[in-house]
Amino acid sequence: MCGIVGFTGRQQAAPILLDGLEKLEYRGYDSAGIAVAQEGAAGYGGAARGAQSGSRQTAGAARPEAQGERPEGSGAGSTEPSIEIVKAKGRLKVLREMTDDGRSVPGTCGIGHTRWATHGEPSVVNSHPHYAKNKRVAVVHNGIIENYQEIRDRLTKEGFSFLSETDTESVAHLLDKYYAGNPIEAISKVMFRVRGSYALGILFADRPGEIYAVRKDSPLIVGRSDQGNFIASDVPAILKYTRDVCFIPNLEIVKLTAAEIHFYNVDQEEVEETFSAINWDTEAAEKGGFAHFMLKEIYEQPKAVRDTVSPRISEGHVNLEELGMSREELAKVSRIQMVACGSAYHVCMTAKYMVEQTARVPVDVDLASEFRYRNPVMEKDTLVVVVSQSGETADSLAALREAKKLGYRVLGIVNVVGSSIAREADSVFYTWAGPEISVATTKAYSTQLAAVYLLAIGLGRAKGVIGEAAEKEMTAELLRLPEKIERILEEKERIQWFANKFSHSKDIFFIGRGLDYASSLEGSLKLKEISYIHSEAYAAGELKHGTISLIEDGILVVGVATQKSLFEKLISNMVEVKSRGAYVLGVTSYGNYSMEDVANYTIYVPKTMECFAASLTVVPLQLLAYYVALGKGLDVDKPRNLAKSVTVE
């Protein structure tokens, strides 16, 4: 759940590493570090560098954990090939200050890392990169080594000394143990001896100009350019330098030099891999004048939904040819099993209502972390649908593999081309949201909704549940959704005004029924993850079964009501909480003006077909969460304890 960047080429590496790590800040981190290979420090003017290093060490001497460190003997003054490591606790700006924006750590080959603590507290010692014995190997790592304690105990008995509490340091020492001049051989041996997930960037001191990388179940990409070659956890880190990338296949090793890239399997045999072009605009990964990525991405939703929907609709018909399933095969689907985590799980909840109503196919929805362990019982013709923005979510990927092991066809709905879920699923439905940087998903969520709408309509047609006229009516309304989202965004000032009144709330509840309950789940999650306000969403009919005891004077309850058949029931639930002192915010469609008889404040969204209402009601809920967090002065894009791509269990 951290960030990795590596570069070897013609330019100085450290400034590129820091720039790349900055682009990965959205993934969440608590410390950062870089390691740069040097072919003899004397050639770089070691005395000057030593003075700079000393000034930084002096600045951090009184409180070393608050600043950072440059390990003693890490290159200054040496004429032998070496690896210099500089790392710091806290934000990347600390590391930038220590290294003069990378200028004081010369060398054209290096690796960098932002750490999100799993083993050991956030500290300089526990931050990456980690040295091996004699400092001849340096490693950065994303993932979790499950048997690290066993490795650590064995290596300690063999004379290896450990400085940190991390699982990563055990990998560094293990590499050192097996290294006898052949990096590929050493890495291969380590792969056979560690259990868990990992993406590793590795430097060997006696192999200057070379970076080695390997992955198992954690994302890692390779990029190439005329100026040099790269590794990274995600595309935004290197988009400024190259668009020519390869998503490293699972259990493969990569060797990078300034001019060449070679791939090897676990048996140390060289293999060929293909590169693909990333078509994102560079500006897509920048704020573009917005205060935060989250607000920018909320405003990008109309385009993202349009880009996802438009290519799949032709003359009023949904085209699902990309799934590689004929109409006859779709018609044979007897049940759908949806699996996801977080916001993607809420998409699946919406899909359950949509698919069952439109195609009359029963849908089960599971959290990926539960599905993979419950030994599921499914019918023969079940289609398993795995939804993930990154395509690398650890639990979702494990669920996919479990489903395939059981013999079921898997459809992946993902946003990242070439990601693990995209490669391993039998069929892929891409959501064209572009890069999403803010930890709290907005536009990716909206494109996932659009994808499940298209899937539901395609299934409904294949099974003969809906006719041609109904299909054309639904697709026409789908194409109008982007314009309706834009209309909601034009009213953001009303939402901002309301949010400012409740930015210091301690508890907020969301209620809804049917599809509106699914929207309430997402609204509640958005609020809690970026504002840190305790928030829960409930199916409104469940309030009286215990939860209503928590309602007291002044507490905010958000009621979402767009379903005509359920509107009056939801209004009754709102009356129940209001009579107990709650302040009620209503979210409903234009025309439902009786909402104002109950709600203290009402937000209206444009009318649409009820099955698509979730795409509209979620927008004011996103804005509510954003402005509440903004009112509290919080870091909206990088909420505490969270990471964008959850690649560990």
User: Catalytic residues, which ones?
Assistant: 2, 644
| 461 contacts 319 by C-beta, under 8 angstroms | no
| 396 contacts 388 by C-beta, under 8 angstroms | yes
**How crowded is residue 161: how many other Cβ atoms within 10 Å of its Cβ?**
9
Burial class (CB in 10 A: 0-12, 13-18, 19+), 521: buried
Rounded CA-CA distance 544/390 in Å is 38
Strands (E), 562-642: 583-589, 601-605
| 515 contacts 346 by C-beta, under 8 angstroms | no
Rounded CA-CA distance 571/256 in Å is 62
Q: What is the 3-state secondary structure (H, E, C) of 293-314?
A: HHHHHHHCHHHHHHHHHHHHEE
Cα separation values, 59 from 65, 68, 89, 103, Å: 12, 9, 14, 18
| 17 contacts 105 by C-beta, under 8 angstroms | no
Rounded CA-CA distance 76/261 in Å is 30
375 φ/ψ angles, rounded to the nearest 5 degrees: 50, 65
| 137 contacts 164 by C-beta, under 8 angstroms | no
**How crowded is residue 218: how many other Cβ atoms within 10 Å of its Cβ?**
26
Rounded CA-CA distance 6/213 in Å is 9
Burial class (CB in 10 A: 0-12, 13-18, 19+), 536: middle
The pair of structure tokens assigned to 414 is 């993902």
